[in-house]
Amino acid sequence: MSFLPVLSAWQWALLAAVPVGVVLLYFLKLRRQPLRVPSTFLWHRAIEDSRVNSLLQRLRRNLMLFLQLLFLALAMLALLRPGWQGESGGGRRLILMLDASASMAATDVAGAATRFELAKQRIHDQIDAMRGNDVATLITFSDRPEILQEFTADHRRLRDALDRARVTHRTTDLREAIRGAAGLAGVLPAGTVGGLAPGDGVGGESSGGGGTEGAGDASQLPASTGAADAGATGETAEPEVATAELWIYSDGGFGPLEEASFGKLPTHYVPIGTQSASNLGIVAFSAERNVERPEQVEAFARIVNFGNQPIQGTASLTIGDELIDAAAVDVEAGGETGLSFDLESLENAELQLTLDIEDDLSADNTAYTALAPLRDISVLLITPGNRALQIALETDQAAELGRIETKPPSYLESDEYRSRAATGREDLIIYDRCAPAVMPAANTFFIGSLPPEHWDAGEMSGPLLPIDIDRTHPIMRFLDLFSLKIVEGRPLQAPPRSLALLTTTAGEVLAIAPRVGSEGAGYQDLVMGFEIISETEEGAAFNTDWPVQRSWPVFVYNLLRHLGGAVDATSAPSYQPGTVAPLRIDNQIREVRVRVPASLDAGGTNATGPAGPLTRSVSRDAGGPLLFPETERLGVYRVLAAEGAQPLSLFTINLFDPRESDLRPAASIRVGEREIVQSDAQIRGRSELWRWLLMAALGMLAVEWLVFNRRMG
Amino acid sequence: MPSAAVTDLLSPELLKRLERLELVSRRIFRGRLKGERRGKRKGQSVEFADFRSYIAGDDLRFIDWNLYARLDKLFLKLFLEEEDLHVFALIDASESMNFGTPTKLHVAKQLAAALGYVGLCRADRVKVAALGPPSAAAPVLRGRASMWRMIDYLSGVEPGHNVSLSSGVKDFCLRNPGQGVVLLITDLMDKDGYESALRMLVGRRMDVYLLHVMAPEELDPPLIGDLKLVDAEDGEETEVTASGYLLNRYRRGVDSFVAGARSFCSQRGVTYIQIRSDEPVERIVTSYLRSHGVVR
């Protein structure tokens, strides 16, 4: 039994005067109003029990006084907050980490609506169990950590911060959170806490539903915050590293953290959730246009049963509110199934696949994909003359993709070129045996030449025979190049993060790399180390037999689709919640609006913020791609040039994370070399008596009132 | 004479009505003077009672000469003698009687005056006395003309003579050895009890009427709250919290007290009559006491 006195010393002194006052009031009551009566003779017969006037007997017989004193005693005892605590000891520094990832919205727990709410209750109990000089900090984590409350001994602030915590649709990545927690505990040097700051990790819209109270620099926390904050509440808490404890409230829906470490920090893992949770989830859903017949669309979905029981149901495919197709789903426990839908004549559609079942996690029962309209691309070909390339660009399929303009190398010197290159109006610029002085704001394809910087090439050699072809890359898809013959070429020395698409006996002769440097971020450069047509003394001659192979027009078509940007027009990309989505739209557009879908809030309830669709405005930084960070909600996001206009492009946000969909809580979590088994938080839970005492006190008051009425009535 | 006092105690209308009434005695007592009622003692009267043999020394005037002529024996003719009645009205003048509106003492004086006047009108021997010291000065009255003296005496009776009922009655008995009708007008509020006083009167073979006067405030006290009750006679203090519960107990106590007194009286041939002090004395005398057989 321990006590947590609520009042300060002088308040207790004031309270102690109350029972004394009550007794005094009873003595005052003895000063009765005198009244002459003919005789007290008859009264004596009525009040035989009042004849004994001695003080002690009077007090002993006064039931109401005793009831009142009992009421006061119970109330004072309640103010002492008696209770039991499993473990004593003060001055602890608790780091409370709350999993806010998508799986915490599961409804498989008893006693709370969701796992997240149950975890909040547990943390609430933990806060209540804190002794006077304990301090605690509250951190939520999903794919990024967020400090909701720094170290403080103030229970109210901790509870307020806990109330602000909201579950998200995001995935789980504990590494940053562990690094931050270790830094806060003082296990790691202060500098390593970088990246974890209050309110950090949230894009424009805070999932916490509000800012962080008392935001400060987290890098200063390990040494100073605990003491400073505790001092503000009148307590003195020495931040002793040895007393810091890490409490992780999670379902363990993340993989082993091999590289992470929080040293010898005492860590408790409180698993939230049940092993019997049932969940059927969509882990993949996409739609592809038929390459040959773009009006035909095939939609694929992969559905996994993460529960212990087989689940039957239906999957409905809808466009808007219109049901397009449905399929029966029957998945064994732990099994998975695939669904495919063939759709006709879809120009511009937003597809939604819904599992019509009741399970414990609703976020993965709906998946979205979108088919954006085919759009024209703009290609600028600068060549001294390349008939083979021009023919390939003029095929019917290539011509459907967009507009192709051909200019001689002298065009590079013109102001018009410089303007077009700088403004980024072109989606793809092909430099055939020529190179610009400055890289343009567009994707580029260099044939037999090199970009002005970051790229280099070896000596010319030949003949070259293909050794390795990366046929997984979209540009190289469907190509059979092993019969390719190249008269001569130069091996490429590509910048970092390049990808070799074609390797020959001399080395890489075809490579693609993202543009190096901040100005060119988001653009890709494809460089071919050999020429298609070479200028010889006899005139133009083929340097390779590729143009006469069947793979040549396919390669050019792939080039236009993927490097020109046409590929984006055929299938909208899907991102996971919380990631920053790049918007692939016409480079000439400086500012767009993004229509955010209505909120299917985590846990299926629209608890926070405006639930309806939102419109956000995004503008392009100088030369950079458009980025959209507010991807908390699941659904189809439309990128619009103006309100009400046809969408320029679409992208979708889906959960698509088997770890989040797998609701079985991990019995232990592995961080670095340490295996952290589950901890029973109930042991530490403090059983409070004050509510019962207060109810008993109220009962006493009611009895006293009854007694009074019975006497006076 | 103080006609105001007469009006105060007895209204002229009541006096007229009282003149037609007569005190009833369940026993026939021997008075000192001839009155208007038939005495038990045989004597000179017109109503024949019996004969008895002559004894030397008897009054020769009562010898039945006709019988002597027939039987040659001397017989004495006995006549029932009409005698007067001794009526005593005893008033409890203790401080406890000084309560109520009108006060219980005032009602007691009115009753004493009324019943005394009835006795005076019937030539009874009437003595109206307050218990305690004033009883020494109480005059013995006879005849209607004595009414003024009676009123005068009653007007002079003031409350505050806090003698106990038993000592007051004992004092009265010592001073008045004769028998007769005793009207004891009291509230019975005596912590030493009323029983010894009544026993003493009954033991003197008095025809006792107990007129128990109670104020409405005593029967149903309008009290509430925490009070310190002070006894008007001995100053004793009693603290009470006048609640509904306590008042119920008090009322039950009063009822049992009255029932006890009634029972005590009926067992000893004492007529117990409870009187509320807020009732008009005219109604008490002309209907209430009449129905109880005190007057007719």
pLDDT in tens, A227-237: 334 333 333 33
Does the structure show a pLDDT above 60 at A294? no
Between the two ends of chain B, the Cα-to-Cα distance in Å is 29
Does the structure show a pLDDT above 80 at A104? yes
Q: What percent of chain A has pLDDT over 70?
A: 78
Q: Does the beta-carbon distance from B244 to A45 stay under 8 Å? A: no
Pairwise pLDDT comparison (A54 vs A626), residue with the higher score = A626
Does the structure show a pLDDT above 80 at B39? no
Does the structure show a pLDDT above 90 at A30? no
Contact A135, A151 (CB under 8 A): yes
pLDDT recorded at residue A451: 92
pLDDT recorded at residue A342: 85
* Residue among B92, B238, B250, B252 with most chain A CBs within 10 A, to mutate: B238
> Which residues on B lie below 8 Å from A33 (Cβ)?
225-228
Pairwise pLDDT comparison (A121 vs A193), residue with the higher score = A121
Q: How confident is the model at residue B261 (pLDDT cuts 50, 70, 90)?
A: very high
Delimiting residues of CATH 3.40.50.410 domain(s) in chain A? 93-276+666-685
Does the structure show a pLDDT above 70 at A283? yes
| CATH entry, A93-276+666-685, from 3.40.190.80, 3.50.50.60, 3.30.1330.20, 3.40.50.410 | 3.40.50.410
pLDDT recorded at residue A569: 45
Q: From the list B233, B239, B253, which residue is nearest A45 (CB)? A: B253
Distance of CA A30 to the CA centre of its chain: 72
pLDDT recorded at residue A193: 40
H-run or E-run covering A708: helix A690-712
> Which residues on B lie below 8 Å from A61 (Cβ)?
none
pLDDT recorded at residue B213: 93
Pairwise pLDDT comparison (A673 vs B11), residue with the higher score = B11
> Which residues on B lie below 8 Å from A47 (Cβ)?
238, 240, 246, 249
Residue of chain B with shortest Cα separation from A28:
B226
Supply the mean pLDDT for chain B: 83
Does the structure show a pLDDT above 90 at A201? no
Query: How many helices and strands, by DSSP H and E, does chain A display?
Result: 15, 37
Unique residue bearing structure tokens 């949230």: A202
* Distance between A28 CA and the closest CA of chain B, angstroms: 11
Q: From the list B96, B240, B243, which residue is nearest A38 (CB)? A: B96
Does the structure show a pLDDT above 50 at A221? no
Q: Give the number of A-B residue pairs with CB atoms closer than 8 Å.
A: 100
Q: Does the beta-carbon distance from A32 to B239 stay under 8 Å? A: yes
Q: How confident is the model at residue A521 (pLDDT cuts 50, 70, 90)?
A: low
Question: What is the secondary structure of B217-281 as a DSSP string?
Answer: HHHS----EEEEEEETTT--EEEEEE-HHHHHHHHHHHHHHHHHHHHHHHHTTPEEEEEETTS-H
> Which residues on A lie below 8 Å from B187 (Cβ)?
38-39
pLDDT recorded at residue B6: 62
Q: Does the beta-carbon distance from B249 to A47 stay under 8 Å? A: yes
Residue of chain A with shortest Cα separation from B247:
A46
> Which residues on A lie below 8 Å from B255 (Cβ)?
none
Domain ranges across chain B: 3-30+86-214+275-291, 37-83
Q: Does the beta-carbon distance from A46 to B250 stay under 8 Å? A: yes
Q: Does the beta-carbon distance from B229 to A711 stay under 8 Å? A: no
Q: Which residues 329-388 of chain A have a CB within 8 Å of chain B?
A: none
Q: Which ranges of chain B would DSSP assign to H, the alpha helix?
A: 3-9, 12-19, 65-71, 104-121, 147-156, 165-175, 195-203, 216-219, 244-267, 281-283, 290-291
Does the structure show a pLDDT above 50 at A192? no
pLDDT recorded at residue A172: 85
| CATH entry, B3-30+86-214+275-291, from 3.40.50.11740, 3.40.50.410, 3.40.50.720, 3.40.190.10 | 3.40.50.410
Q: Does the beta-carbon distance from A39 to B246 stay under 8 Å? A: no
* Least confident span in A248-252, A667-671, B187-191: A667-671
Q: Does the beta-carbon distance from A40 to B245 stay under 8 Å? A: no
pLDDT recorded at residue A175: 79
Q: How confident is the model at residue B264 (pLDDT cuts 50, 70, 90)?
A: very high
ipTM: 0.79
Delimiting residues of CATH 3.40.50.880 domain(s) in chain A? 377-568
Contact B39, B83 (CB under 8 A): yes
| CATH entry, A280-374+570-661, from 2.30.30.60, 3.40.50.970, 3.30.310.50, 2.60.40.10 | 2.60.40.10
Rounded-to-integer distance, Cα B235 and Cα B215, Å: 20
Residue of chain B with shortest Cα separation from A708:
B243
Amino acid at residue number A134: D
Residue of chain A with shortest Cα separation from B224:
A712
Q: How confident is the model at residue A429 (pLDDT cuts 50, 70, 90)?
A: very high
Q: How confident is the model at residue A445 (pLDDT cuts 50, 70, 90)?
A: very high
Q: How confident is the model at residue A537 (pLDDT cuts 50, 70, 90)?
A: confident
What CATH number has the domain spanning A377-568? 3.40.50.880
Q: Does the beta-carbon distance from B189 to A45 stay under 8 Å? A: no
Mean per-residue pLDDT, A384-411: 87
Delimiting residues of CATH 2.60.40.10 domain(s) in chain A? 280-374+570-661
Mean per-residue pLDDT, A249-269: 78
* pLDDT per residue as tens digits for the range B226-247: 788 898 888 888 888 777 778 8
Q: Is the Cβ of A34 closer than 8 Å to some Cβ of chain B?
A: yes
Q: What is the pTM of this model?
A: 0.46
* Least confident span in A117-131, A663-677, B190-204: A663-677
> Which residues on A lie below 8 Å from B221 (Cβ)?
37
Q: How confident is the model at residue A491 (pLDDT cuts 50, 70, 90)?
A: very high
Q: Is the Cβ of A497 closer than 8 Å to some Cβ of chain B?
A: no
Residue of chain A with shortest Cα separation from B248:
A46
Q: Does the beta-carbon distance from A34 to B237 stay under 8 Å? A: yes
* Least confident span in A261-265, B135-139, B149-153, B201-205: A261-265
For residue A578, report the phi and psi dihedrals to the nearest 5 degrees: 95, -10
Does the structure show a pLDDT above 80 at A133? no
Could you tell me how many residues make up chain A? 713
* Distance between A46 CA and the closest CA of chain B, angstroms: 5
* Distance between A71 CA and the closest CA of chain B, angstroms: 23
Q: Is the Cβ of A55 closer than 8 Å to some Cβ of chain B?
A: no
Question: What is the secondary structure of A534-602 as a DSSP string?
Answer: EEETTEEEESBSGGGSTHHHHHHHHIIIIISSGGGGTS--EE-TTSPEEE---TT--EEEEEEPPP--G
Q: Is the Cβ of B220 closer than 8 Å to some Cβ of chain A?
A: no
pLDDT recorded at residue A215: 36
Mean per-residue pLDDT, A594-613: 61
Q: What is the DSSP letter of B295?
A: B
Rounded-to-integer distance, Cα B146 and Cα A5, Å: 90
Residue of chain A with shortest Cα separation from B246:
A46
Q: Is the Cβ of A712 closer than 8 Å to some Cβ of chain B?
A: yes
* Least confident span in A1-10, A203-212, A286-295, A330-339: A203-212
Q: Does the beta-carbon distance from B253 to A42 stay under 8 Å? A: yes
* Distance between A709 CA and the closest CA of chain B, angstroms: 9
* Residue among A30, A31, A32 with most chain B CBs within 10 A, to mutate: A32
Pairwise pLDDT comparison (A275 vs B38), residue with the higher score = A275
Q: Does the beta-carbon distance from A47 to B237 stay under 8 Å? A: no
> Which residues on A lie below 8 Å from B238 (Cβ)?
40, 43-44, 47, 50
pLDDT recorded at residue B215: 93
* Distance between A695 CA and the closest CA of chain B, angstroms: 29
* Least confident span in A163-177, A214-228, A563-577, B172-186: A214-228
* pLDDT per residue as tens digits for the range A465-475: 898 888 778 78
> Which residues on A lie below 8 Å from B260 (Cβ)?
none
Q: Which residues 20-49 of chain B have a CB within 8 Å of chain A?
A: none
Degrees, nearest 5: CA angle B172-B37-B296: 85
Q: How confident is the model at residue A207 (pLDDT cuts 50, 70, 90)?
A: very low
> Which residues on A lie below 8 Å from B223 (Cβ)?
35
Does the structure show a pLDDT above 70 at A28? no
Q: Does the beta-carbon distance from B189 to A39 stay under 8 Å? A: yes
Residues 6+ apart with CB under 8 A from A382: A406, A407, A408, A409, A411, A412, A429, A430, A431, A432, A434
Q: Does the beta-carbon distance from A37 to B230 stay under 8 Å? A: yes
Contact A124, A130 (CB under 8 A): no
pLDDT recorded at residue A55: 53
Number of other residues whose CB lies within 10 A of the CB of residue A610: 9
